[in-house]
Amino acid sequence: MGGMPGDPGTPTRDELLAAYALPDRGAPRLRMNFVSSADGAVVLQGRSGTLGGATDRLLMQVLRTLADVILVGAGTVRVEGYGGTAVSESDAAWRVARGLPPQPGLAVVSRALDLEPGHPFFAEAVVRPVVVTCADSPAGRREELAEVADVLVCGEETVDLTATRAAFADCGWTQTLCEGGPHLFGALLDAGLVDEVCLTLAPRFVGGAARRIVQGAAEADRRFALAGALSDDDGFVFLRYATR
Ligand SMILES: NC(=O)c1ccc[n+]([C@@H]2O[C@H](COP(=O)([O-])OP(=O)(O)OC[C@H]3O[C@@H](n4cnc5c(N)ncnc54)[C@H](OP(=O)(O)O)[C@@H]3O)[C@@H](O)[C@H]2O)c1
């Protein structure tokens, strides 16, 4: 197959589906997906999409197709105008043929709940989204968002991400795809909840003041194994790190 580093060729959707397959859906798994420039920037001109490329966008669709639920931090929703996460008709058919619902679930983590009910995250959702929050969040905002989403309260002062994973598993969502951002990634690392990191390395050196893909986590030597590496004709590298 094309796409192994050093091989010519760009991986196809089917090759990506095979390379990122989730063989045991019974075991809870949290998979992160990030793109970074080769010099470690998490954004270019304030957005992550400007760093990516065609295969990166295809991989994002493939990872969504494989997931039970897409999880994202409120910061990313606010900055990226994040919405329209539905998978295509053919990806939905692929899911249904394997006994999955046509679309993955969609969830945002927030304490402040500074999210408008009319935001594309809610307005463009094709499944009812979940707002994961904590008991200390503003009650009025919870009520407002309950009009457009299911509100899940996990934890007191901050969202208890371990309890969130358990609540997801209770509703059949064992395979979580987290699409960032860096603070949610940091919190998930600190909680020991990250099983896999899918990292697209863009052949770009952007300088500037952009931050890294992990923010706010305590410094520690968290060792992951390299579980996969692909590349495409545009010079992008697709790394997959796993804890087991
Ligand atoms: N390169 C990439 O692949 C990629 C991917 C995603 C995002 N990004 C970029 O990253 C930037 C946004 O990142 P970010 O780190 O600021 O945002 P983020 O990680 O998406 O969201 C952070 C927010 O999530 C909520 N949160 C996270 N953990 C929580 C917990 N344990 N309890 C309660 N709330 C929690 C809080 O929301 P509240 O403030 O609402 O309480 C927090 O402010 C954007 O510029 C975006 O473009 C890049």
CB of 179 within 8 A of CB of 33?
A: yes
CB of 70 within 8 A of CB of 104?
A: yes
Grouping H, G, I as helix, E, B as strand and the rest as coil, residue 95 is: helix
Closest-CA residue to 36 (of 200, 186, 177): 200
Residue 7 pLDDT class (50, 70, 90 cuts): low
| 83 C-alpha to ligand 1 centroid (Å) | 15
CA distance 67 to 87: 11
Q: What is the tens place of the pLDDT at every residue in 205-230? A: 999 999 999 999 999 999 999 999 99
Query: Does ligand 1 have an atom closer than 6 angstroms to the CB of 206?
Result: no
Residue 242 has pLDDT above 70, yes or no: yes
Q: What is the tens place of the pLDDT at every residue in 86-134? A: 999 999 999 999 999 999 999 999 999 999 999 999 999 999 999 999 9
Residue 190 pLDDT class (50, 70, 90 cuts): very high
* pLDDT score recorded for residue 84: 87
Residue among 30, 59, 111 to mutate when testing ligand 1 (max atoms within 8 A of CB): 111
Residue 3 has pLDDT above 70, yes or no: no
CATH superfamily, domain 28-35+48-206, is: Dihydrofolate Reductase, subunit A (3.40.430.10)
Give 109's strand partners.
73, 132
∠ CA 238-239-242, rounded to 5°: 145
Q: Which long-range contacts (CB under 8 A, 24 or more apart) does 99-104 make?
A: 100/68, 101/127, 103/127, 104/64, 104/65, 104/67, 104/68, 104/69, 104/70, 104/177
CB of 121 within 8 A of CB of 115?
A: yes
CB of 120 within 8 A of CB of 84?
A: yes
| 108 C-alpha to ligand 1 centroid (Å) | 9
Residue 51: phi, psi to the nearest 5? Answer: -85, -25
Residue 2 has pLDDT above 60, yes or no: no
CB of 131 within 8 A of CB of 160?
A: no
CB of 234 within 8 A of CB of 54?
A: yes
* pLDDT score recorded for residue 81: 87
Tell me the pLDDT of the chain averaged across its residues.
Answer: 95
**Predicted TM-score (pTM) above 0.85:** yes
CA distance 223 to 95: 32
CA distance 192 to 214: 14
Rounded to the nearest 10 degrees, the angle between the axes of helix 89-97 and helix 54-66 is: 40
CB of 91 within 8 A of CB of 64?
A: yes
Residue 244 has pLDDT above 70, yes or no: no
Q: Which residue's C-alpha comes closest to atom 4 of ligand 1?
A: 48
Query: Does ligand 1 have an atom closer than 6 angstroms to the CB of 164?
Result: no
The 69-73 sheet, strands edge to edge: 150-153, 130-133, 105-109, 69-73, 175-178, 29-37, 196-202, 237-242, 225-231
